[in-house]
Amino acid sequence: MKYISTRGGVAAQQFSDILLGGLMADGGLSIPESYPQFSTEQLAEMAKLSYPDLAFAVIRHFVDDIPADDLKALIAKTYTAAVYCNGRNPADADQITPIIKLDDTLVIQELSNGPTLAFKDMAMQLLGNLFEYVLAAKGEQVNILGATSGDTGSAAEYAMRGKKGVNVFMLSPFGKMSPFQRAQMFSLQDENIYNLSVHGFFDACQDIVKDVNKDAAYKAKYKIGAVNSINWGRIVAQVVYYFKGYFAAAKNVGDVVDFCVPSGNFGNICAGHIARQMGLPIGQLVVATNENDVLDEFFKTGGYHPRGLDRTYETSSPSMDITKASNLERFVFDLVGRDASKLAAMWKSVETGGGFEISPTEFAQMRDEYGFKSEASTHEDRVVNIREVFEKFSVQIDPHTADGYKAAKAHRRNDVVMVIMETALPAKFETTMVEALNQPPARPAGLVGLEDLPQRFDAIEADAAKVKAYLAERIAL
């Protein structure tokens, strides 16, 4: 499998070449030349596999340049019950992403049982192992520059801490993460981890990452790599759990199943789109947003208009406080028939502060052929829905998953199973959980007292030049 750029300006590359990087040289995102296809018969066989075997069955189609035995071993080492052990029911840990049945046609897929209690661990743990393998094979080092609204940062830091040849420089929005999220990142004392607290929202952090990535000379000199979902490695690992969730939720292989996904940077649901393109019988893909509802607007009107600071809000599902969704570019590339010059013009407008409108035909395709629907939530919705799920089903869901629950209720269909993706555990967002349920959420024993640990970070302005200088001072050449 070779990888091309959504903007068409780069020669096709191998998996190991794109694995460590962020943007392609032309500013676009890497995407496979085509998607592997699975028949219903093949799916029926895959349904019998354990999580690591299923992950290998999916991911091997995207990776030609790592020997199959090595890839299989890296995957087996990643997806173990010992790593994904923070779920509600320890006996389910070997399922890695077990499901909770709320009723006959509504289920939650647990994606947040890894070390940092968010779905990011699903891909990031594999990325850590792949990075280590590829760096050792190439005799190289990487300096990861990432942006986080709260969960990618800790997942990346836990996956990369102490790894040979890897430094992590993580930009996060100053004062906008939950106390738990902040403590998870800032309490790490490992020498290869640097936390930079940026005055601004996640969008400003992500813009800096993209600016640095666009400076080819700097990127090459300082060996800059990426762990955000602009990195294809993140997406491919996320594709796997749609297969797992489908097999766990479908009554029979071949039945249509809908998925509802709390969304911000559009990486999670983009993986669902790709699983669907590979032949997994997904019906609807429901995008759930919070008050930062740019994506809801896009899927309801066909107009994509990222917003400025004046219309970006701090919400109680803070990890989704995002108004520029990186991975929308990968989906729109497919939507416009993989026409790279059309796509490049659309994103040129986005990057210069504008947006775009898709045509009425594309809008109809997006909803009918690709199955996208959407819904937005408010803080009040979140509190009511957390309470409702607890009272009706005795299950505690976090505020982001509550956004998913609201959207799932709005779009569920008779006799079609709807899977809600659980994107974080309640322990990460104690204030909203207490407001909804009058009790603090449970947390794994190892994380009790996390907020009392000493914290270390550097504050920095939202300025790519200052971030470049910070990295240059610390990276040994």
Ligand X SMILES: Cc1ncc(COP(=O)(O)O)c(C=O)c1O
Q: Which amino acid is at 467?
A: V
Rounded CA-CA distance 165/332 in Å is 35
Q: Which of residues 322-361 bind ligand LJ64HWYM (CB under 6 A)?
A: 326
328-367 residues in contact with ligand X (CB under 6 A) are none
Binding window for ligand LJ64HWYM (CB under 6 A); candidates: 151-159, 247-255, 349-357, 438-446: 151-159
Within 10 Å of residue 473's Cβ, how many Cβ atoms?
Answer: 7
Q: Which is nearer to ligand LJ64HWYM, 105 or 423 (CB)?
A: 423
Residue 424 interacts, among ligand X, ligand LJ64HWYM, none and using kind-specific CB cut-offs from 5 to 8 Å, with ligand X
Min dist. Cβ of residue 304 to ligand X (A): 15
Match 């993986």 to its residue by tokens: 271
Size of the site for ligand LJ64HWYM (CB under 6 A): 14
Q: Could you say which of 31, 130, 208, 320 contacts ligand X (CB under 6 A)?
A: 320
Q: How far is the CB of 393 from ligand LJ64HWYM (least distance, A)?
A: 26
Quote the least distance from Cβ 319 to ligand LJ64HWYM, whole Å: 4
We find the least distance from the C-beta atom of residue 326 to ligand LJ64HWYM, in angstroms, to be 6
Binding track over 176-205 against ligand LJ64HWYM, x by CB under 6 A: --------------------------x---
Does residue 264 interact with ligand X by CB under 6 A? yes
Going by C-alpha positions, the residue among 128, 123, 120, 138 that lies closest to residue 163 is 128
List 95, 105, 149, 312, residue binding ligand LJ64HWYM (CB under 6 A): 149
What are the structure tokens assigned to 153, written together? 């940062």
Q: Which of 22, 153, 283, 371 binds ligand LJ64HWYM (CB under 6 A)?
A: 153
Subset of 133-172 contacting ligand X (CB under 6 A): 151
Nearest to 379 by CA among 441, 439, 436: 436
Among ligand LJ64HWYM, ligand X, none, the one that 263 touches (CB under a kind-dependent 5 to 8 A) is ligand X
- Whether residue 329 contacts residue 28, with contact meaning beta carbons closer than 8 Å, is answered with yes
284 binds, among ligand X, ligand LJ64HWYM, none (CB under 5 to 8 A by kind): none
Q: How far is the CB of 469 from ligand X (least distance, A)?
A: 28
Among 113, 178, 228, 316, binds ligand LJ64HWYM (CB under 6 A): 228
> CB of 141: closest distance to ligand X in angstroms?
27
Q: Which of 48, 72, 120, 466 is catalytic?
A: 120
- Measured from the CB atom, the residue of 105 and 152 that comes closer to ligand LJ64HWYM is 152
Closer to ligand LJ64HWYM by Cβ: residue 13 or 149: 149
Q: Between 150 and 426, whose beta carbon lies closer to ligand LJ64HWYM?
A: 150
409 is catalytic: no
| Residues catalogued as catalytic | 120
Q: Which residues bind ligand X (CB under 6 A)?
A: 118, 151, 229, 262-268, 319-320, 400, 423-424
